Amino acid sequence: MFLIECPWCGERAETEFSYGGEGGITRPAEPDKLSDAEWANYLFMRTNPRGAHQELWNHAQGCRRWFGVERDTVTYHISRSYVLGDGVKD
Amino acid sequence: MTEWHEKRHGLEQRIADWTSRTGFTISVRDDLGHLNLRGDLGSPGFLAAAEETIGQPLPQAPNTISDGDSTIFWLGPDEWLILTPAEKAANLADQLESSLSNQHAATNNVSGGQIALTLTGERVREVLAKGCALDFHPQVFTEGRCAQSGLARANVTIGSIGGDNKFLVIVRRSFADYLLAWLDGVA
Ligand SMILES: [Zn+2]
């Protein structure tokens, strides 16, 4: 059983969670001033790294809160879970 | 509403049959009203006003229960479920609404949408563990703890309260019959 640590509830089964895509992406403050390419880059382009990956997860079947996770895409090892706003990027 | 509900689901008959076969007891807690409370613990005055209105502490540690005249479940860092005698629920909702009117808070009476079941019996932990990934060991899921999770794929809130082998399971009304059918098969 793959366990994911919710910052509030602790370790729970993966089946309680849903994945919310790459984390640490900041919405541009002034979208009007972006070129189409820059806007498309914000909307669609993701890093898809081999190794440490910042992710958003939702504890869907538990406390239903969003939080951040740093997961290794090769080993699935989760190095940390954190409350959003407490350091999405180091 | 109670009569309508019983007729619709035939819950009472199913429970009676089940209890006599398994030595398990399960009761539909139609005596409880359900209120969902949202509010910001960081907002000055919220906690004091809420606790004074309800008359007991809001549990602040994740996945714990405060038991008193009402039973309050921690659902999230800004969300609680208050189980209170059904006849008092509407009144308490109104009182919370007014005492928290200057707060960024919300009180919702969700009694119509969900139902609480009390499960008791020697093997209650075994039965729950059959359909849920939580650890039900008596030293882990101790009295006063609660959790939201999946039981046989239905979303539930489970709390250990009132004794070692006694649990409250809160489920959507529309899932109650399914959940009892599942418990029937397992127990
Ligand atoms: Zn959680």
Q: B67 near B144, Cβ under 8 Å?
A: yes
A26 DSSP 8-state letter: P
For the cut 70, the answer to whether the pLDDT of residue A87 exceeds it is no
The answer to whether B153 and B97 are in contact (CB under 8 A) is no
**Taking a C-beta distance cutoff of 8 angstroms, is the pair B167, B121 a contact?**
no
| Segment B156-182, tens digit of pLDDT | 999 999 988 999 999 999 999 999 999
Instruction: Give the pLDDT confidence of A40-72 residue by residue, as tens digits.
Output: 999 999 999 999 999 999 999 999 999 999 999
Q: Of all residues in chain A, what percent carry a pLDDT higher than 90?
A: 91
Which of A12, A17, A61 has the highest number of chain B CBs within 10 A, making it the mutation to test binding with B? A61
Q: Which residues of A touch B75 (CB under 8 A)?
A: 63-64
| CATH homologous superfamily of A19-24+41-90 | Folate-binding superfamily (3.30.2270.10)
Q: How confident is the model at residue B1 (pLDDT cuts 50, 70, 90)?
A: very low
- Residue A79, classed as helix, strand or coil, is strand
Supply B166's token pair.
């006694």
Q: Is A86 on the interface with B (CB under 8 A)?
A: no
Tell me how far apart the alpha carbons of residues B65 and B59 are, in angstroms, rounded to a whole number: 6
Q: CB-based contacts of B74: which residues, under 8 Å, 6+ apart?
A: B59, B60, B61, B62, B63, B64, B65, B80, B146
B113 against B4, higher pLDDT: B113
The count of C-alpha atoms lying within 13 angstroms of the C-alpha of B36, restricted to the half-sphere facing its C-beta, is 12
- Residue with the bigger pLDDT between B136 and B23: it is B136
> What is the residue-averaged pLDDT of chain B?
91
Q: 3-class SS at B159?
A: strand
- B32-109 has which fold? Alpha-Beta Plaits (3.30.70)
Q: How close A77 comes to chain B (CA, Å)?
A: 20
pLDDT of residue B7: 53
For chain B, give every domain's residue range: 2-30+113-186, 32-109
| CATH of region B2-30+113-186, choose from 3.40.190.80, 3.30.1360.120, 3.10.310.40, 3.40.50.1820 | 3.30.1360.120
Å from CA of B49 to ligand 1 middle: 26
